[in-house]
Amino acid sequence: SAALCTLLLGGSGTLAFQSSPKYALPSYRSSSSKSQHYLFSSSPARHHRRHHRFTTTPVATIPPGSHCSSPSASPSIISSSSTALEMSTMSTTGNLVTIREAIQAHKNNHSGPGSPKNIFLDGSWHMPMGPSPRNGRSEYIAGPRIRNAFFFDIDDLSSPPPSQPSNPKNLPHNKPSPIKFAAAMDRMGISPEDTLYVYGTKGCAFYHRSYWTLASCGYHDPSKVKLIMGSLDEWKECGGELENEVLNEDDARLFRMSDVNLEKANQTTKYACWKKDDEVMDSSVVDLNQVLAIVNDKNKESHAKDAIIIDARSSGRFYGRDPEPRPGLRGGHMPGALNLPFVSLLDPDDPTKFRSMDEVRDAFVKAGIAPLSEDKEGGGEGQQRKVICTCGSGVTAAALAVGLEECGLRSKDDIYIYDGSWIDWGSEDDTPIVTED
């Protein structure tokens, strides 16, 4: 909608734990203990399995005017955008799936006890500001929602949560700790063998952070996390199963992490990391000190040529012409950072879809991220391989991170999110900030 575009461009039930350990936590290295040089060294190998393409079949009577194809047509989704194609065939990983593929996965989810499941999660999040702010959790409770879907709450899972002494800046969406993630998975009955499907409600341009959290934190096999291209409204139009009733307060899906005794959960969680202990590295996020080291090294023209910083905020905020929506933050950007407003990657008619991957790739290249084969300095050494994605609070940076991987310009191992983003950087008195290139 016009209002959404204006905003983007401008600016308790409890569930008992089962005692037998199935999802044991791995030994884990936190970002605070990670070497500053880890960004500029080879990342641990990750095992990627190709996405299994579901055979698409007609799923329901298609309402007149729907964006779904008719039962006699090709199995691809027909997008409202003239540029959109079937996303699964375009993405590098195969983790972007169409509504039809997702519906087929949902229909096939009738395996026996203990078998891998297809689990659906509403990852909707909305800017908590503006004249009529939306709330993803409230909308999930009110319905409709995909039948048996859970709500993945990036704010509730933040580690450490805002208002805690260990989070004095109230950073709102930090990546969850291993124990908090495992406890949340247990509450939702998710195992590492399950395939997760993340969707967003109509007009939600921010659900990429939920997908990224599930796929990039090192706890769940990223080949088993899918991002649905298309909104809940399109799911309904295509005949996907829904729940329409308002959820009762005692519904087990409405748990809060404050209900969980994490100290006890550390001994009793069933969810186990998909990797071996020696493969688990916190390689998906960076903090202020790590970004500051990159910026300072670039200012001195020294050897930090391996990393690029790219900012998802609007150009007005990036150059300090428009005020930050959060009070107390300075305007401008980090020296040397590139700017690519995240909305440039999204279908202008439906922000729950990317543009074609060719368009996404072109947008990154025009912003300054060259393909590796064209981006050589010093005889092949010091290529700008690593990319740090940042934004206002760590949410829209995820759209850049996902798009960058899916268009094939960088691998997951080379993509990071600055979790604190501009809330962290812009609130400091002495971090370097510029308002020009």
Question: 5: closest CA among 346, 338, 285?
Answer: 346
pLDDT at 171: 78
Instruction: State yes or no: cis peptide before 160, omega within 30 of 0.
Output: yes
Helix axes 397-406, 357-367, angle to 10 degrees: 110
Chain-centre distance for alpha carbon 148: 21
Reported as a single tens digit per residue, the pLDDT across 114-160 is 788 999 999 999 988 778 889 999 999 999 999 999 999 999 998 76
Q: How far is 437 from 425, CA to CA, in rounded Å?
A: 18
For every residue of 191-255, DSSP letters joined together read: -TTSEEEEEE-TT---THHHHHHHHHSSSS-GGGEEEEEEEHHHHHHTT--EE-SPPPTT-GGG-
> Among 104-118, 195-209, 275-289, which is the least confidently predicted range?
275-289
Banded pLDDT at 166 (limits 50, 70, 90): low
Instruction: Convert the pLDDT of each residue in 176-207 to its tens digit.
Output: 888 888 889 999 999 989 999 999 999 999 99
DSSP string, 317-357: HHTTSS--SSTTPPPSB-TT-EE--GGGGEETTEEEEE--H
Contact 422, 313 (CB under 8 A): yes
pLDDT tops 50 at residue 14: no
- Residue range 158-181: mean pLDDT, rounded: 77
Single-letter amino acid, residue 9? L
Q: What is the pLDDT of residue 70?
A: 37
- Asked whether the predicted pLDDT for residue 274 surpasses 70, the reply is no
Residue 169, pLDDT > 70, answer yes
Which residue type, as a one-letter code, is found at position 32? S
Q: Which of 16-25, 223-232, 418-427 has the lowest mean pLDDT?
A: 16-25
Rounded Cα distance between 125 and 144, Å, is 16
310-353 confidence digits (pLDDT tens): 999 999 999 999 999 888 899 999 999 999 999 999 999 999 99
d(CA 282, CA 388): 14
Contact of 129 with 261, CB cutoff 8 Å? no
Can you tell me the distance from the alpha carbon of 391 to that of 400, in angstroms, rounded to the nearest whole number? Answer: 9
- Can you say how many angstroms the Cα of residue 125 is from the centroid of all Cα atoms in its chain? 11
The b/e string for 109-118 (b: 16+ C-beta within 10 A; e otherwise) is beeeeeeebb
Distances (CA, A) of 435 to 166, 333, 390: 31, 6, 16
Cα separation, 348 vs 153, in Å, equals: 26
Residue 71 confidence class, pLDDT cut points 50, 70, 90:
very low
Residue 381 DSSP one-character state: T
How buried is 368 (Cβ within 10 angstroms: 0-12 exposed, 13-18 middle, 19+ buried)? middle
pLDDT interval class at 62 (50, 70, 90)? very low
Which tokens go with 158?
A: 């933040």
Structure tokens at 44: 């641990």
Look at 226 and 264; give whichever has higher pLDDT.
226
Q: Is residue 35 predicted with pLDDT exceeding 90?
A: no
Mean pLDDT throughout 73-92?
43
Give the model's confidence band at 26: pLDDT under 50 very low, under 70 low, under 90 confident, else very high.
very low
**Rg of the Cα atoms in the chain:** 21
CA separation (Å) from 222 to 50, 73, 213, 227? 10, 31, 10, 11
CB 198 within 8 A of CB 224: no
Return the structure tokens found at 301: 């023209």
Pick from 53, 91, 97: nearest CA to 234: 97
First to last CA, the chain: 31
CB 382, CB 303: distance < 8 Å: yes
- Looking at the predicted structure, is the pLDDT value of residue 362 above 50? yes
Helix (H) or strand (E) holding 288: helix 288-299
Question: Of 100, 311, 91, 386, which is closest to residue 222 (Cα–Cα)?
Answer: 91
Q: Give the span between the Cα atoms of 147 and 106, in whole angstroms.
A: 9
